[in-house]
């Protein structure tokens, strides 16, 4: 009885501590979600009430912002969603193909100055985008590729994103080399070993690469604004920017409504590959 009576305060303190931690995390999560909740609330308000009522609960609800925003620009907003989908899909395909092959070379193959080139690749991760964007623009301008999607897509097929190469290198290093040796005994070369053995086992790392590429490409504004000047080629971030006018004639309600629609693919893609994302991030640092 005495032992049980001593355990009760300990269990009570443990439950109180755990409950306090959960409440703190919930409160922190609500603070982080407040901008998103405010945007969703503003999308349902008449435009004249968006900045007049700072609260999250609208006193008057309207869905006109969604209808107006969908048809407010030169094309229906679905047109810009399709443009973003094309750019994002090609970017994902390029990163998966090029980065996986480069990672396999660094992780499994032997070639001259391998450590040097791997160090150069790691160093490029720390190189800011603003340092290389000017020479890249000049190069693409000389190739007459400005105002096309190729400046946004072509670097992905050339293993431009070193972060994903490093991610896959770390993952491939966790795979037993005996698999490569067994494939070699069966007569498989480098390409067959890569496609038949290594690549199928890299599903978590590939899913992580696809998810991050989707989010970063879908939300990319600077590069798309720089290379796409024709409204027919605008993607979602650039199209959303056209709702704002420096002269003061800004359509805040339709912009918030279309921003909510633009967030839908991101949430859907993230939720669909969440389990692979956690596995990919968790296993790349094991070795």
Give the integer Cα–Cα distance in Å for 41 and 196: 50
State residue 100's pLDDT score: 93
Q: CA–CA separation, 213 vs 66, rounded Å?
A: 28
C-beta neighbour count of 21 within 10 angstroms: 10
Using alpha carbons, list the distances in angstroms from residue 120 to 102, 109, 166.
13, 17, 12
Q: What is the pLDDT of residue 153?
A: 94
Per-residue model confidence (pLDDT) at position 141: 92
Residues in the chain: 287
Residue 173 to residue 105: CA distance in whole angstroms: 11
pLDDT tens figures, 188-227: 888 888 888 888 888 888 988 998 999 999 999 989 999 9
Kindly report each contact of residues 273-277 with a partner whose C-beta sits within 8 Å and lies 24 or more positions away, as own/partner: 273/207, 273/210, 273/211, 276/203, 276/204, 276/207, 276/208, 276/211, 277/204, 277/207, 277/208, 277/211
Q: Residue 1's pLDDT is what?
A: 47
First-to-last C-alpha distance (Å) of the chain: 50
Q: Report residue 113 as tokens.
A: 């100055």
Which residue ranges in the chain fall short of pLDDT 70?
Answer: 1-12, 245-249, 276-287
Determine if the pTM surpasses 0.75.
yes
**Per-residue pLDDT tens for 234-262?**
999 999 888 876 555 678 888 889 999 99
pLDDT at 165: 92
pLDDT of residue 129: 79
Q: How far apart are CA 88 and CA 95, in angstroms?
A: 10
Place of tokens 């070699």: 184
Determine the pLDDT at residue 281. 57
């Amino acid at each position: 009885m005495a032992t049980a009576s001593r355990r009760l305060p300990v269990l009570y303190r443990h439950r109180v501590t755990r409950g306090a931690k959960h409440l703190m995390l919930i409160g922190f999560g609500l603070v982080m979600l407040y901008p998103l909740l405010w945007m969703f609330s503003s999308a349902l308000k008449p435009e004249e009430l968006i900045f007049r009522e700072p609260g999250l609960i609208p006193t008057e609800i309207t869905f006109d912002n969604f209808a107006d925003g969908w048809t407010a620009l030169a094309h229906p907003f679905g047109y810009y969603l399709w443009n973003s989908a094309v750019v994002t899909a090609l970017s994902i395909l390029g990163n998966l193909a090029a980065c996986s092959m480069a990672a396999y070379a660094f992780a499994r193959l032997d070639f001259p100055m391998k450590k040097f080139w791997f160090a150069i690749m790691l160093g490029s991760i720390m190189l800011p985008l603003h340092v290389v964007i000017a020479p890249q623009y000049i190069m693409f301008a000389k190739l007459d590729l400005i105002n096309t999607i190729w400046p946004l897509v072509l670097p992905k097929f050339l293993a431009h994103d070193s972060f994903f190469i490093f991610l896959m290198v770390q993952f491939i290093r966790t795979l037993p080399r005996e698999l490569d040796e067994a494939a070699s005994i069966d007569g498989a070369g480098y390409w067959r070993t890569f496609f038949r053995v290594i690549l199928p086992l890299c599903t978590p790392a590939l899913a992580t690469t696809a998810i991050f590429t989707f989010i970063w490409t879908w939300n990319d504004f600077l590069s798309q604004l720089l290379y796409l000047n024709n409204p027919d080629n605008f993607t979602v971030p650039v199209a959303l920017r056209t709702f704002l006018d420096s002269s003061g004639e800004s359509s805040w309600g339709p912009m918030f409504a279309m921003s909510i629609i633009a967030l839908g693919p991101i949430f859907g893609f993230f939720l669909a590959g969440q389990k692979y994302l956690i596995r990919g991030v968790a296993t790349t640092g094991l070795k």
